[in-house]
Structure 1
Amino acid sequence: MTAVSVRPAEAKDREAIRTVEERAFGGRTEADLVERLVSDGAVVLELVAEIDGRIAGHVVFSRLTIESDGGPYLAVALAPLAIAPDFQGRGVGTALVEDGHRRLEKVGETLSVVLGDPEYYNRFGYSHDRAEQFLSDYQGEALQALAWGEAPSTGRLVYAAPFAAL
């Protein structure tokens, strides 16, 4: 099996990223979301995974704000995570998420929120228990959080503006 290589996304990757997003999700919604997040400057970290020189996967961590009595707190939202169908089941998603977490923790981020399959995201330490006290339009079992340090567990989650268009 060929190794997965993860690196920060570059401007030259935009077309390949769009293709991965469209193929992974079967439409344009997530690809359009990525373009809006990038153009709005809401991206905290964007990574691509390559296998044999081809972009096999992509992940975005965008700015998320938690509004609470203690004032706003900055966190990140993991969305979207996309793996091209012909590369699924080869560890691409795991490589992207784990590498992203290492990079985010290294620069001082302390909380990540994801809306996704609990069975998949639990393997990375995300849990609904950590997110259940947040106020969110997306509150439910699929809303999960992971903290690497001191971070609030209550307050209103405010996603980057492009999410409102979904």
Structure 2
Amino acid sequence: MKIREAKTSDYNEIYNLVKTAFLTAQVSDGSEQDFVYELRKREGYIPSLELVMEEQNELVGHVMLTKQVIHGIDGISHGLLVAPLCVKKEYRNQKVGSRLMEEAMKRALQLGYTSLFLVGNPEYYHRFGFRSTRSYGIENRSEIPDEFVMAVELVENVLTKCGGYVVLE
């Protein structure tokens, strides 16, 4: 299995992968595949941070990171939103999601980003260091319950000094 940047020729396969993967996900609203399409149209889309895992020319996993605004006490800064991370059902529990997340975190840091945000299952994402944004002193201003709105620092103490709020959408 190999990780690579997504190509425009992958978009239809990614759409179907995300749709199918989230049919059996613990947390889903059924629109994740459309959210991927929407994120690509936004100004904060970073093509080099949309990754896929491929096994024998078949996509088995996908992750996407896009710019996330942080309204800090000293002004606006940017982190990255992880949305969505998914793995084809037959490939779950084989470290596909972990490998994608670790590679995405590494690439984000190489590009100078210092924090990641997401909405997801705390039991899964705690293994990567994610915790509630509130634990960093950052208010969640979305309608999503606080326990599911999480962040991780790629550079130590970058969020603890930030304060303010985020709106994940």
Q: Is the 8 A contact 1:131 1:144 kept in 2?
A: no
TM-score w.r.t. length of structure 1: 0.86
Query: 25-34 vs 67-76, which deviates more?
Result: 25-34
For 1:87, which of 80, 91, 97 is the aligned residue?
Answer: 91
**Distance in 2 (alpha carbons) for counterparts of 1:21 and 1:131:** 30
- Is there any run of 5+ residues in structure 2 with no aligned partner, and where? 24-28
Question: 1:37 corresponds to which letter in structure 2?
Answer: L
**Distance in 2 (alpha carbons) for counterparts of 1:58 and 1:125:** 20
Instruction: List structure 1 runs of 4+ shifted beyond 4 angstroms.
Output: 129-132
List per-residue Cα deviations over 1:3-54 (Å, max 9, x = no partner).
x211111101001100111101128511100001102233232100111221
For 1:11, which of 5, 8, 16 is the aligned residue?
Answer: 8
- Percent identical pairs in the alignment equals 27
Question: 1:42 corresponds to which letter in structure 2?
Answer: G
For 2:129, which of 109, 125, 138 is the aligned residue?
Answer: 125
Matched residue, 1:155: 164
1:1-166 residue pairs with structure 2 within 5 A?
A: 4-26=1-23, 29-44=31-46, 45-128=49-132, 131=135, 133-136=137-140, 137=142, 138-149=144-155, 150-153=157-160, 154-159=163-168, 163=169
How many matched pairs? 157
- Is there any run of 5+ residues in structure 1 with no aligned partner, and where? none
| RMSD of aligned Cα (Å) | 1.9
**Distance in 2 (alpha carbons) for counterparts of 1:143 and 1:129:** 6
**Distance in 2 (alpha carbons) for counterparts of 1:114 and 1:126:** 9
Displacement after TM superposition at 1:68 (Å): 2.4
Query: 121-130 vs 87-96, which deviates more?
Result: 121-130
Q: Is the 8 A contact 1:131 1:143 kept in 2?
A: no
**Distance in 2 (alpha carbons) for counterparts of 1:62 and 1:20:** 19
TM-score w.r.t. length of structure 2: 0.84
Q: Is the 8 A contact 2:153 2:159 kept in 1?
A: no
